[in-house]
Amino acid sequence: MLQARLRFLSLWLGQTLRVLSDWCLRIFVVLEWAQSGQRECNSAWHLVTACFILPFIVLAPFNGALCNGLPRRWVLVGAAAFCLLALITFGAVGGPWLACLIAVALGSALFSPTRYAMLPAVAQDARIPLSLVTSWIEMGGAGGIVAGLVLGWFLYDKPWHDLPWIWSGVVAGWVPRSWPAPVSISAGLSLFSLLASLPVRFPSDLSRAEPPLQAVGGFFRDARRIAGDRDAWASLAGLAAFLALIAAGSGGIVALKLEPGDLGIKDDLLHALILVALGVALGSWTAGLQIHCLRALGLVPFAAIGLLVALLWAMLATNLTVPSFVLGFMGGLANVPLRTYYQSAVPTDARGNAMSIMNMTIHLSTAALAGLMFALTQTAILRTPAQQLLVLSSLAAVGACIAWWVLFRHTLEQGLEILVWPFFRIHASGPGLETFPDKGPVIVVANHSAWFDPLWLGKVIPRFVTPMMTSQYYDKPIMRWLMARVVGTIRVPVATFRREAPELKDAVKALDNGQVVLVFPEGALRKREDQYLRHFGQGIWRILRDRPTTPVVACWIEGGWGSFTSYFNGPPTVNKRLDWWRTIRVGIAVLRLMDRSLLEDQRATRAFLMQACLDARQYLGLPPVKATGLPDSERVDKPSDASSALGEREA
């Protein structure tokens, strides 16, 4: 694990240097183009952006085939070597620098999807959540943008021999005096990026060896696979739209301050560009704190609103410091969740092609928007940069509405988690964390010691859960709409006596739809200190009888007993202090299929699941406990009330 983390550090360094080199050259080319005239100033950012990302779009099938079929370490090294060769070649002939940027973009277009394709293997081998891995990569990229902006801007139109003596001494032996300083620095950084990429290798990162023509065709086959996966294409569409708006908004900020013939250092513009990148870094770090892949998507609607505010603020403000930072922060806040979810949704054997498709889609969207803005600046439609920002604000408003509509449940759960953050520290351990399936039906069974048990389990289980709630809570105003329309909770009717249990059919239907159904088979909250677990009701057996092939995950929640919403020393919430920073630990057992012979005996099934929940305590370091026997008087055909049918007497 330590070796994998060190290799991840090398990957992080290599990609950060690659981004730094690209942006140092990129801002240099922007300034070169902008000095031609007012119209060129307004369009410089959009033109250079479109030229840089063109190879990401045109060469996507070939890039995908290379990073999907070849050892990815050597693809990284080869891409970095190509960038270095391009810089040396154009530096020797003295330009043209826009063509030099396009040539460097050819190597970066291959480098970028390859490093992203390695991240799931990094997370697996280094045992770091994928969202955190992605967060660090994005923070490194943002740091590279900041450094590249500073170097490219301050060293514009300076020869290398005017640089500090340390750098000029290093390059004196091989860089001609005619080279611009940003070009010489970009070449040196490309060399270091190449060296940092040499040790990058992860055992879990497997390529899909194919003949060249078949590998290129595999790009299009994988594209169809991704297009058929709703989770994959939806997250990719949101990511592409969001990043296109961020790039275009940054261009609008550049155009607000850039003037022809006055290319000296403008502190307000430089600070604005740096603050965008710093905002991306901080937003990426903030998003990385949420390791729940699905719930992290709840940050996207908040980021969409923030993006709209930042664009409107930049359009109206004279000081661009705050709106620039907010623009970048919202970009990072949305980028990490969407990118992480896409990476986790794509097929394992298609990661190289999938990341190339991701880059192609992102840059195609960015190029289309940048091209549109460029075309409009050449006409009388958009006379000023403020008008450009107004158009972008309108697009951001539409995007915010869509994000809130599509991701409302994600946002609701994320908001709830933020609200309860000061009260609970929730941790999980056990083999079930690594083996929990990404898709398909699963039944989760657990002990029930407090009202907030579903919330705590929902925090650590890597998928949305479909809980069950008694009608006395389900039917309350507002709660009913949330549970029925947003969460999809299964309603358990409360009655003194009934022979039917419709909630069991609803649970089976949810499993048929591939959902994760959460069941507390005890039927009531824990009420005694000396009784760890109440007898399980028959409902869980009846569900398994109808769905015998459904995998079951047994959990144990420790820390709920004694909390504000437990029966410890009295009814929940009555004469008790609120919980502050209370530690809740969840042990998650390995996924298991119930033996069909065991399911023939309802008592044996219930006893087995009781013991499975108690055995999950071992993953928390708790002493073993044996389950007590079930009452002999119970029979399968005994009429059941609301509690015994499912084991749910209380919420």
DSSP state letters, 525-587: ----TT-S-PPP-SHHHHHHHH-TT--EEEEEEES-TTSTTS-TTSSTTTT-PPPSSEEEEEE
Architecture of domain 422-646: 3-Layer(aba) Sandwich (3.40)
Q: What parts of the chain have a pLDDT lower than 70?
A: 34-46, 157-178, 251-270, 378-383, 495-500, 629-651
d(CA 519, CA 499): 20
The reported pLDDT for the residue numbered 35 is: 66
The reported pLDDT for the residue numbered 372 is: 78
For 340-383, how does the pLDDT look when each residue is reduced to its tens digit (9 = 90+)? Answer: 999 988 888 888 889 999 988 998 888 788 777 777 776 666 66
Unique residue bearing structure tokens 């005096």? 177
The reported pLDDT for the residue numbered 176 is: 56
Q: What are the structure tokens assigned to 2, written together?
A: 């330590």
Residue-range domain boundaries for the chain: 2-414, 422-646
DSSP 117-150: HHHHHHHHHHT--HHHHHHHHHHHHHHHHHHHHH
Which among 478, 496, 457 has a CA at the least distance from the CA of 588? Answer: 457
The reported pLDDT for the residue numbered 39 is: 47
The reported pLDDT for the residue numbered 421 is: 84
Q: Give the angle 427-429-434 at the CA atoms, nearest 5°.
A: 120
Q: Per CATH, which fold does 2-414 belong to?
A: Growth Hormone; Chain: A; (1.20.1250)
Strand pairing category for 552-558 and 582-588: antiparallel
Which among 333, 378, 1, 15 has a CA at the least distance from the CA of 193? Answer: 15
Unique residue bearing structure tokens 């088979």? 521
Unique residue bearing structure tokens 């990719």? 236
Does the pTM surpass 0.85? The reply is no
The reported pLDDT for the residue numbered 437 is: 87
Which among 102, 67, 121 has a CA at the least distance from the CA of 355? Answer: 67
The reported pLDDT for the residue numbered 77 is: 92
Unique residue bearing structure tokens 């430089």? 270
Contacts by 50-53 with C-beta closer than 8 Å and gap 24+? 50/367, 50/370, 50/371, 50/374, 51/98, 51/101, 51/102, 51/105, 52/22, 52/26, 52/101, 52/102, 52/105, 52/108, 53/105, 53/363, 53/366, 53/367
Q: For helices 299-316 and 408-420, give the axis angle rounded to 10 degrees.
A: 90
Q: What are the structure tokens assigned to 119, written together?
A: 């991240």
d(CA 581, CA 471): 31
Which among 508, 498, 521 has a CA at the least distance from the CA of 638? Answer: 498
**Residue 304: CB atoms within 10 Å:** 27
H or E stretch including 503? helix 502-512
* Buried residues in 129-140 as b, exposed as e (16+ CB within 10 A): bbbbbbbbbbbb
The reported pLDDT for the residue numbered 445 is: 94
For 396-441, how does the pLDDT look when each residue is reduced to its tens digit (9 = 90+)? Answer: 999 999 999 999 888 888 888 888 888 999 999 999 888 888 888 9
**Burial of 326 by CB count in 10 Å (0-12 exposed, 13-18 middle, 19+ buried)?**
buried
